[in-house]
Amino acid sequence: MVSMALSVDDLFRYMTPDPTMSRLPSKLRRNRRMAEILHEHYILGASAEEIAERRHVTASTIRTALRQGLHLLRSGAKVLPNSPSVERLIRIGLD
């Protein structure tokens, strides 16, 4: 678990830095879902298995969403002003 004050909205903002890139509602929903999963895993400390059980999907699906979400965070961090909390989360996610 990461002790930092990042909300789901903060993560979503970094995952979707340019609204014109994400005009499709399905892409925004996907990014929001991944932000929620990242928040549950890295901020709240839930395991992939616990998240999967709550969302009625496989743990593999959650692990994939975690990888994709970290990739989007890295991309967004290049566009938006640096956030020490986001940078720390990205480093932890790469370990």
At residue 57, the pLDDT reads 96
At residue 64, the pLDDT reads 93
CA distance 3 to 49: 21
Using one digit for the tens of pLDDT, what is the confidence trace for 69-88? 888 877 765 555 566 666 66
Using one digit for the tens of pLDDT, what is the confidence trace for 24-54? 566 777 788 888 898 899 888 899 999 999 9
Where along the chain do its domains lie? 8-94
- In the block, which residue shows the tokens 């005009």? 23
- In the block, which residue shows the tokens 């929903």? 29
